[in-house]
Amino acid sequence: MLTNLLSNRSPLLWLSLALVCAITPPLAHASADRDQLAILIFSKTAGYRHESIPAGIAAIKSLGAQHRVEVDATEAASTFTDAGLEKYRVVVFLNTTGAVLDADQHAAFERFIRHGGGFVGIHSATDTEYQWPWYGNLVGAYFLKHPPIQPATLKVVDAAHVSTRHLPAQWTRTDEWYNFRDQPAADITVLLRIDENSYTGGTMGEIHPMAWCHAYDGGRAWYTALGHTAESYSDSLFLQHLWGGIAWAAALPTE
């Protein structure tokens, strides 16, 4: 019967086939959409190297698997080309230190952000690329110094943000608490502050920031100063904080 209909070129059948083709997305387009959700972890160091980097990579890959998002990890600066970054929605600088990219790689990463890419900086991402002013504005502040690892209490400033809305208003945890050279710029949204009365060694007073985010140069940037210790990457509250930041920077669905 179907053969006869095809041979007779039934108008009704051809109309039905045309409708099916119109509403079925091509496989190549579906694959491209999945690629756009990919995350790149970059953990190259040219200075101090955190022992927690492997734990951080494993934790972010696990978060990606939970949320059905592809996650790659590299320490190859050569990835920072237009073609190398094309598949990614967000790049995570995980405890990077020092000058980790050359001038051409700087330019490629700037283009990535200007085309709507996302950036996530974890802990010593602020101890990175001091001679690259564009990056300094992207990450929001540069590291100055820190006291010994110790417990302290964090205060949630923005309880509506996806990276902080799950946190208690007063969050006590142990980590390495950074002091920064300067406050983040006025157009940067501070998400967490630290109570300097809860530990020793703070130098920034009552408005000591610990996490923030902003739109920057066509893309999005989110930073957390937490994440020095390996134990951080098995802390469920910290992992929710981290995934919220990644999701926001990548403009992924957050509900």
What are the tens digits of pLDDT across the range 76-109? Answer: 999 999 999 999 999 999 999 999 999 999 999 9
Q: How many CA atoms lie within 13 A of 42 on its CB side?
A: 25
- Would 245 be classed as within a structural domain? yes
How confident is residue 28, by pLDDT bands cut at 50, 70 and 90? very low
Please indicate, yes or no, if residue 11 is contained in any of the structural domains. Answer: no
Which CATH number fits the domain that encloses residue 218?
3.40.50.880
**Is the model's pLDDT at 4 over the cut of 90?**
no
Is residue 104 domain-resident?
Answer: yes
Confidence of residue 248 (pLDDT cuts 50, 70, 90): very high
Please tell me the distance from the alpha carbon of residue 118 to that of residue 226, in angstroms, as a whole number. 19
Distance CA 117, CA 93 (A): 13
Burial of 133 by CB count in 10 Å (0-12 exposed, 13-18 middle, 19+ buried)? exposed
Look over the chain and give the mean of its residue pLDDT values, rounded to a whole number. 88
**Residue 252's pLDDT band (boundaries 50, 70, 90)?**
confident
Q: Is residue 101 part of a domain?
A: yes
Strands 209-216 and 189-194, sheet pairing: antiparallel
Decide which of 22 and 152 is more confident: 152
Tell me if 168 is assigned to some domain.
Answer: no
**What is this structure's pTM?**
0.86
The answer on pLDDT for 139 being more than 50 is: yes
> Between vectors from CA 125 to CA 67 and to CA 119, what angle results, nearest 5°?
45
pLDDT band, residue 254 (cuts 50/70/90): low
Rounded to whole angstroms, how far apart are CA atoms 164 and 211?
Answer: 9
pLDDT on residue 255: 60
- Beta 88-94 vs 170-175: how paired, if at all? unpaired
At residue 31, does pLDDT exceed 60? no
106: domain range? 35-143+209-250
**30 assigned to some structural domain:** no
- Residue whose token pair is 């893309």: 219
pLDDT of residue 152: 98
CB 227 within 8 A of CB 213: no
- Does residue 232 sit within a domain? yes
Residue 27 lies in a domain: no
Q: Rounded distance, CA 244 to CA 250, Å? A: 10
Domain count, the chain: 1
